[in-house]
Amino acid sequence: MSSFALFALLTAPLALLCLPAHAALRVFACEPEWGALAQELGGSLVDVSVATSALQDPHQIQAKPSLIARARNADLVVCTGAELEIGWLPVLLQQSGNAKVQPGQPGNFAAADFVRKLDVPGQLDRSQGDVHAAGNPHIQTDPRNIALVATALATRLQQVDPAHAGQYAKAQADFAQRWQQAIDRWTAQAAPLKGAPVVSQHKAFVYLYDWLGLKEVAVLEPKPGVEPTASHLQSVLSTLKGAPARMVLYSAYQDPRPSEWLSKNAGIPAVKIPFTVGGSDAAKDLFGLFDDTVARLLAAGAKP
């Protein structure tokens, strides 16, 4: 073997180390649940950043320069849609100047486009509060919706990163199997809650109720997004005297005082729902989110 051939043989591994690594697909998620789902489906192929935390109201976010910068560099923006982010996302996308992630482009993904919406208003009247024309946007509280969105998001990942389409498809199939098994388990665990009358602080749980068969008998907010007044709380309390509820639910990001007031005066448990990934210590990922949600509901609302 010549000295040149020997040198080439010895240096070949070093040359491979010097090749640039695959640049991860940059995913910008509006809410923690979609960031977690993108991570489940993308693994090491994606670099995920999330605009909000579980302790922030997703309706009320500011289009800060730091978020604009992340949107500018994103390959894919994954949000809820259905007007949940109407107050900040359009400004964010416009100011990002990123053509790939504008509405209508493959790099713009709205999860709510792929599920059946509930609470779609017959007519739109803004005097009725924070009403969404496309229906209630809080789709992530039903794990069956997560399954539908996962299928659509995996397809979109394959579209925007075709070089790794096979890996996204494999990850989606694996997630779908594990997720369906978990749904079956959660549904069985929560069976004792079916038909239970409950109160909501915000109109945030219609998909959760649709899944588990809970019955919403009152809402603490007089209109969506409007803080409850003392007189409205009193009227809800009066309503419950004739039709008692088993518990009152509020989201991790909400001020708990209205629910705690009702809990004290109506003698029912107030249940903090994590609502999204990070909403409680146990809700570290999508599986933990529903493990914890079902456990909290059962602890408060299962019949003795």
For the stretch 230-239, contacts whose Cβ atoms lie closer than 8 Å and that sit 24 or more positions apart, written own/partner, are 233/258, 233/261, 233/262, 236/199, 236/262, 237/262, 237/265, 237/266
- What's the pLDDT at 5? 47
- 128 or 262, which is more confident: 262
Encoded tokens for 154? 């995996």
Model confidence at 122: pLDDT above 90? no
- What's the pLDDT at 63? 92
252-297 per-position pLDDT tens digit: 999 999 999 999 999 999 999 999 999 999 999 999 999 999 999 9
Gap between the Cα atoms of 217 and 199, Å rounded: 6
CA 63: distance to chain centroid? 19
Gap between the Cα atoms of 111 and 89, Å rounded: 14
Gap between the Cα atoms of 263 and 269, Å rounded: 5
Gap between the Cα atoms of 4 and 54, Å rounded: 60
In the DSSP assignment, the letter for residue 298 is H
- What's the pLDDT at 11? 47
Model confidence at 17: pLDDT above 70? no
Model confidence at 132: pLDDT above 70? no
61-86 per-position pLDDT tens digit: 999 999 999 999 999 999 999 999 99
Mean pLDDT of 83-98: 96
Which H or E run includes 91?
A: helix 89-96
Model confidence at 127: pLDDT above 60? no
If pLDDT is split at 50, 70 and 90, which confidence band does 134 have? confident
Gap between the Cα atoms of 112 and 131, Å rounded: 16
If pLDDT is split at 50, 70 and 90, which confidence band does 116 have? very high
Gap between the Cα atoms of 280 and 272, Å rounded: 9
Give the contacts of 126 (CB within 8 A, at least 6 positions apart): none
